Structure 1
């Protein structure tokens, strides 16, 4: 792929929050501003960058192909200031939600398959903020026009940033669950950044939501997001299953999405799902352990799901704007505040998503 020089007048250096050593605190550094773009790249003046659990995985060295230093955050929004020579779907001044994958190969089975397979391309150059490409914890960042989306006027750049990963992940999980209007959809770990969005997205599509969590703050957020049926996992699997079966006429949920990494979460997610139903696993513990009886005797089908492709991501943004879906945000101003964001996220007391307003003038 050829590259072109950035012609827009920009500062030669910028601030970036980076992982420079695994298992060590993030560093606030001064780095060169991107000055070259690939054919399909867009250069974005960052407005908002959101914190995701994956950022902790980067810090912990989970991704073997990660090379340091790595600028964090794969949940970014902003304004396009320059485009690569083959970009047709964006222009300078557009409001954008940056896509996570960069430079997918275009020739593998996943790239040639349905749009929502593209993010599985194993030959992609990288994932912004994760490996192979710097992320949005910086004054400017580069994203791929083939995975990024236009932000509707009805959605703020502050709300759109968490949607770049959390939003597209839960939106696709709902699709993969095959839950339809009038069905019961349970969510284990529903009171977090993804869950409170999923509750609203499912309800906007006429799906009946069952929210399950184990923290007081999380249960409160489930109710705030509009969940009418909220269950406390601390009462134990048997009691939660009994309550949900009573609610659903004895069958259980038509489908369930597991958003929790706790070792009891996947077994609970399967147990509350009706026989022959789907359990969608999107949390990422090292091992997902499920009792054989759920798989063999009850025929619960377990599926994994990642982020969405560009078409589904754009549909998600349009739904958020149309339905007035709200993102619970914890606002921090300026990249210097990122360490405080991380401390809050690790405290267990955060409700919703932590977001950093990088450029107030855009917000």
Structure 2
């Protein structure tokens, strides 16, 4: 079955057309700066050279139409469309076929992820209108975390407030963490029962997975919680919001923008939100860049232990996503901080870049350490095939 996977943002739209059975990617690309001057489409086919096409994209409907026009040249029939949805809220314990009801639910929970869900719902609606013969499937990032134990997801605030306004830990990156478990279990079999998945990128989260079930994760009500990220502050004292409101006379929107878009690695390094730029700065002796790396690595090691505690043990650790897959020095530093837990990695196995899942720990390491490139698109496509196939 050929599935078109769509990941829509407020001003962007990523797509990938792949065969679920062979995993072959026929085409993929991204529409950027939708509704903004200078919009363009980046497109590549069958692993060929990526082309950048400057084209006016005033809205998502134009972008979707352009994507389908491009895909006509690929000449591969589309069997269904899978939509990554950031926030499934209290409605989606698993992926679901798009209906009028499920689409309305995506919009209802949008206040939990306003920059994403509204755009995603709009794109789903556009696809239904333009191509009514194709089935659509919602694949929420939060579904994998939906059934974690209540003691992990419930917050210690009055129950009537929490339940009325659906305030709980939802997590994120669930589709990626689900793919990591699936891949590792296929490789390691019964050697893996308690896994901590470390999705480290511009957005970052850890997830404790015991025999395929999420036991806890580091992101909370929103993706702002947990680790230090590219521009997000991660966990801090919630009273910081009240303090800045009173003393700095900052509005809620100003604090929201600061914590989501002006904090994290960017704020500490004062150089960039990109770990590659920060690593380069640290190598040149920039103390702020080094501090940003030290803080990031410390928080990963600290929360790794927290995730292990949720399972009362851990046998496997996996690095994935942009930083996790491509930054051997950061992996090495994090594992060094976890040396007290018996973590040991092989420097030669850790160094090379590879698109294949691999073990990088030494034979005598107390925890098996792996690098596994994530593939959220494939997981979404699998759900589409299961629900529409």
TM-score range, shorter chain: 0.3 to 0.5
Question: Which has a greater percent of strand?
Answer: 1
TM-score when scaled to structure 2? 0.34
TM-score when scaled to structure 1? 0.36
Question: Which has a greater percent of helix?
Answer: 2
